[in-house]
Amino acid sequence: MKVNSAGLTDVGRKRNHNEDSYLVDEELQLFVVADGMGGHAGGGTASRIAVETIDRELRKVRDSSENPFKVDCNLQDSPLPEHLRAAVEKACVEIFKAAQEDPRLNGMGTTVISVLVRGNHALFAHVGDSRAYLIRGDLIQQVSEDHSLVNEQIKAGMITPEEAKHSRYKNIITRSVGFEEEVQVDVMGLIAEPNDAFVLCSDGLANMLDDKEISEIIRGNELKEVPKKLIEMANERGGDDNITVIVVKTEAGS
């Protein structure tokens, strides 16, 4: 499976600095969005460490003698999901360590949403409330599950999804990378098909656009224009947060 991608980040309309970071590594077919928290220095530092560490760790795996990237097996037997999980866990350790060494960075952390495409496997690793979507034909589905207070309230039947959109607690996450030395990482995998689109985004986009709007913009525009158009729409609606989006489209390999 070949991939094409486009990514973009924007400070939004309400913030004076951007704490998001993102990675587009088309050689590895690895893509990451990280939404940092912890103040001007802390949030941006945490998200940058996350994307750099995940990329570095998976390149080490690719360059090792075993090189699991060359292993041809079915999804459930692939070694790559655990390597992706380990890379996010390593990022958590690195962020926590940096915060211990510099008091100005105390308490920093970041969300992580990532996808690694190998063959016809799309592998996701996820912590926090940044999201991954799959768009296949006319359908759009959220692949990740928000690690957030409002999502816990929805699952418990305390509030409805519509009430969650307007909750004062919608920005509170229940899991982050680097705030503590260890973190539980959700890892998921699916079989990709030609012409699938994967969207990775921070909550600055997800909180402003609904699923149908995201799908329509992706299906109605050239790939390179999609991130810009999604960000423009989020900003038109207030741009309350930093906004980051990566779109990855698959096509059949030769």
CA distance 8 to 16: 17
**Tens-place pLDDT, residues 180-226:** 999 999 999 999 999 999 999 999 999 999 999 999 999 999 999 99
pLDDT at 254: 59
CA distance 201 to 52: 17
Q: What H or E segment, with its residue span, contains residue 150?
A: helix 149-155
| 172 or 228, which is more confident | 228
Host domain of residue 119: 2-251
Q: Which residue has the tokens 């094409």?
A: 4
Instruction: Kindly list the distances between the CA atom of residue 243 and the CA atoms of 20, 63, 78, 90, 215, in Å, as whole numbers in the listed order.
Output: 8, 33, 33, 25, 17
Calculate mean pLDDT across residues 61-72.
Answer: 90
Query: If you average pLDDT over every residue of the chain, what do you get?
Result: 94
**Tens-place pLDDT, residues 123-146:** 999 999 999 999 999 999 999 999
CA distance 132 to 144: 5
pLDDT at 38: 85
| 202 or 71, which is more confident | 202
User: How many other C-beta atoms lie within 10 A of the C-beta of residue 97?
Assistant: 12
CATH number for position 94: 3.60.40.10
| Overall number of domains in the chain | 1
| pLDDT tier for residue 41 given thresholds of 50, 70 and 90 | confident
- pLDDT greater than 80 at residue 65: yes
The DSSP code for 129 is S
pLDDT at 101: 95
Question: The tokens of 197 are what?
Answer: 């689109």
